[in-house]
Each structure stands twice: as structure tokens, then as C-alpha cells.
Amino acid sequence: MATKVHMEALSPTMEEGQIVKWHKSEGDEVASGDLLAEIETDKATMELLARGEGVLRQVLLEEGATAPVGEVIAIIAGADEDLGDDGDGNDADDEAREDDQADVAEAEDGDEDAEESGEPKPASKAEADEAPPSEADTSNGERRVRASPLARRLAEEKGLTLQDIEGSGPGGRIVKRDVEAAEAPPEEEAPETEAPEPTSPATPESEADYEDIPLSQIRKTIAKRLVQSIGPVPHFFLTVDVDMSRVVAARGRINKVLESEGVRVSFNDIVLKATALALAKHPECNAHWGGDHVRRFNRVHLGVAVAIEDGLITPVIRDAHRKGLAHIAQEVRELAGRARDKKLSPDEYTGSTFSVSNLGMFGIEDFTAVINPPEAGILAVGALEERPVVVDGEIRIQPRMKITMSCDHRVIDGALGSRFLQTLTGILEEPLLALV
């Protein structure tokens, strides 16, 4: 039975794909799972595997050509099967194709969100499904109130203003339970009581990877006011100027030790390691903003911004807090290399809990980075330079590095961000602390 080969959605946001190379030619035998072609998507070059078996009878899209997701690009069939036959199998295929297209529609939503947030980082499919309501709703600074008819009726009868109510439905829609919650007596709303939000009963024991912390009323109010003031992700910035003398010395020794293994550790690798350790000590900063809760992660998945030909991408070092420096160095090298070749698979550039961007190699002294939502923070690492500083009343020359942390104020307050930076600075100024 003939199998139509469709252009498949190989990344969550893919709308069309370009054939880089056919690995099978017309007349070749094909088994299910065989590599048919390499396809360039919007994010990476991906492999298209055969879903049927037989002989590759027709190639309908030549190398270098582009086709939208869902289009038939080749036909696999028996060696002398009549391709005009349109049996049951094809019906099934058509069904499958319709579903693929539905996936694309879903992915497109994700794209819009990414554009609005001004960040080229690819939104994972999961994120696309769960776009923070604040991003979708804000236009011209005015928030359109979305509420169910029943919620409107309830609010009217109870004399409540919808604008004052935080919505918990899809896309931040105000529903019955929100109006009822807003009407509850004030003592139940007081921030010191644990808000019995129905949205998030997760307990630390049952969720190994993260914990969802329901928002207290004060957190909700802070979040709302900040977003009104500054935009969908209310950034603020904290800068530290770090004495890198000991890191410079330590790196020299480390690289000597690793020389035989052919591994070289960069300053950025050391910053990544130190950041991961500091985040493990301050899980409040290792968090995502979830609209109605803050998701605090117990594991550190560090996004590392990598410049590529037509933008940037953020491959993820998973469990960075548990990895040694050499391991991190190798992994960054390997992922960055494949990122530049557009060979990353989606799971390699999604799921980060916090990110680091470094423009030091361009001689940038300090800068601010834009947060990748829903992450709550990103570090912008400047150049390591010798600069004069005052130590004990004397001017001295030291290798220094400026690090600026962008914080999502809804999750990280000034004092919290500062404590995290203190820990990070401490580790960089005394790398031995990494062992403690």
C-alpha cells in the first residue's frame, strides 16, 4: 500500500521546510524509520524518517526547494504497485495530515507570543499552549477585561469591579471562581495565610523537579501593578563589578590540569558554573512566572545564549548545578557548535530555568539582557578587563568583570536578586567556595 510522505512539523513552530538533502533516491528500498531526508526548519536542520516501507517511488520536492507542512513530498510504495490506487491506507494518511496541520495552527500561536515578547528564543510547544495571559492581553497599555457572562453577572450583582479582579481562566479570563474569591472576607485574603488556591496543589515530595508556589494577594497586586507600569515582563536591573583575580589564577591552573584531556575552560564556563551553584542556593531566583503561580525549580537548567547566523538561540545545560567545570565546558562547546550549524533538536533549546548571555568577547563592558519568558532572570556578562579600583585607600589594577542581572520583578524583588548576586560574586571572588 502506498505511503505518502508529508512535510512533517519537525519543530513546534515550523510552518514550512526546505529539503537540504535527500538520503534516498527514487528506486531505493526504504524501511520504516530510515533516514529519508534532511530538512531545514525555522530553527534547525532535522531528520525526516520514513513512516512506511517499500520503494521510494517518487520524489516530488527537489533539494533546495521549500514546501509547507502537510504537503506530499514523496511517495513510498511497492516496487510495482500502481500509484493511482487510492485505498484505505491513503484515507488514513489524509487524516494524519489534517492533524499535522492542526498542530501547525497551535504552533503559530506560540510564534506570535515570541514576537510580542521581543525575544527570538523559540517558544516550546508547552509554552505556546500556556502563554502568560499578560502578554496576550496587553495592547496600548490598556487591558481589555475578559470575563465569562456568569462572572460579569456575579460581579455586577455583588458590586465588584471586574478591572480589580485577577482572572484564572484560559488567557487570564475572569471566571466564576475568581469573582467568588474576590468577594471572600478580607481575613481570608491576608497575605500571611496560605492562599488555598485551587490551581496548584503540588507538594514538594510529589514533584521532584519543581514546586508551584501559589501567589499571595500581595504578590498578585505587585504583579499586576508592575505589568501595568512597565510592560508584560517588568524588568529591573542589578549590576555587580566582580574582582576576577582569583578566577584568572584558578583558570590558568585548571587548564594546565585539563590540557592532557584536550579541554579548555573559558571564563564564561566558570561564570556558568558559579551561576548554577548560586541558583541552587537561591532557588527563589531559579523560577518561572506562571501567571497565577511562581514555579520554583529544584534543578538548574541553564540557558546559554549563542549568536547564530540570523539571530540567537539558547541551548540548555541541563542540571548545570551538578556538572563539573570540564563537563560544562565540553557541553557548551558542543551545543554552541551544533547551534551554529542549526542542528539542535527542540529539547536541546527548551526547558531552561534561567539564562546567561555574554557579550564580553565583543568588548562590551556592561549591558542589560532581555528576559526569556517565563524565566524570572537572566545574567548579562561583560568583558573581563584590567581596571583601576580602590582597595584599602590605594589605587590598584585588577581584572574585573561586570555582571548585570535582569530580574522579573513579579518573581524576584531587589533584595532577593541582590542576595543571589552576593553569593555569585562570592564564588567568583573566591572560587574555592565552589568546593564548599
Partner 1 sequence: MNPRGTPVADDSKEFDLIVIGSGPGGYVAAIRASQLGMKAACIEADKLGGVCLNIGCIPTKSLLTSALLVNEVKGADKHGISIGELSIDMGPAQERSRKVANQLNRGVGMLFRKNKVTHIEGWGRLAGDGKVEVETPDGTDTYRADHILVATGSRPRSLPFLEIDGERIWSSDHALFVKEAPESLAIVGAGAIGMEFADIFEAYGSQVTILEAMDHVLPVEDKDISVQMAKAYRKRGMTIHTGARLESSEVVDDGVVLRFKDKDGKDQELKVERALSAVGRIPNTEDVGLDRAGVKLTERGNFIEVDEWLRTNVDGVYAVGDCAGGALLAHKASHEGIACIEKIAGVAHGPVDHGNIPNCTYSHPEVASVGLTEEQAREAGHDIEVGKFPWVGNGRALAHGDSDGFIKVIRDRKYSEILGAHIIGPHATELIAEFVIGRHLEATAEEMEKAIHPHPTLSEAVAEAALASLGRAIHI
Would you tell me which residues interact with partner 1 (CB under 8 A)?
51, 92, 95-96, 99, 103, 124-126, 129-130, 148-151, 153-154, 157, 170, 175-176, 198-199, 201, 205-206, 208, 210, 295, 317-319, 330-331, 334-335, 346-348
Among candidate residues 362, 346, 429, the one with its CA nearest the CA of residue 391: 429
Please spell the DSSP secondary structure of 96-140, one letter per residue. Answer: HHHHHHHHHHHHHHHHHHHHHTT--SPPPHHHHHT--HHHHHEET
Nearer to partner 1, 50 or 233 (CB): 50
413 included as an active-site residue: yes
Rounded distance, CA 58 to CA 65, Å? Answer: 15
Q: How far is CA 12 from CA 110, 130, 345, in A?
A: 8, 14, 11
CB of 190 to partner 1, least distance (A): 25
Which amino acid appears at position 1 of this protein?
Answer: M
Nearer to partner 1, 209 or 386 (CB): 209
Element (H, E) at 387: strand 377-391
Element (H, E) at 59: strand 54-59
Instruction: Evaluate the omega torsion of the peptide bond into residue 198 and state whether it is cis, within 30 degrees of 0.
Output: no
**98-109 residues labelled b (16+ CB within 10 A) or e (exposed):** eeeeebbeebee
CB of 331 to partner 1, least distance (A): 5
Nearer to partner 1, 231 or 351 (CB): 351
- Which of 6, 288, 293, 409 does the annotation list as catalytic? 409
Nearer to partner 1, 133 or 360 (CB): 133
Locate 350 and state its grid cell: 527548551
Contact 328, 317 (CB under 8 A): yes
Rounded distance, CA 331 to CA 42, Å? Answer: 23
Nearer to partner 1, 288 or 400 (CB): 288
Among candidate residues 222, 211, 236, the one with its CA nearest the CA of residue 293: 211
Nearer to partner 1, 282 or 301 (CB): 301
Rounded distance, CA 242 to CA 89, Å? Answer: 65
CB of 242 to partner 1, least distance (A): 28
Contact 125, 35 (CB under 8 A): no
CB atoms within 10 A of CB 155: 23
Question: Taking the mean position of all CA atoms in its chain, how far away is CA 37?
Answer: 28
Nearer to partner 1, 56 or 332 (CB): 332
Residues with catalytic function = 409, 413
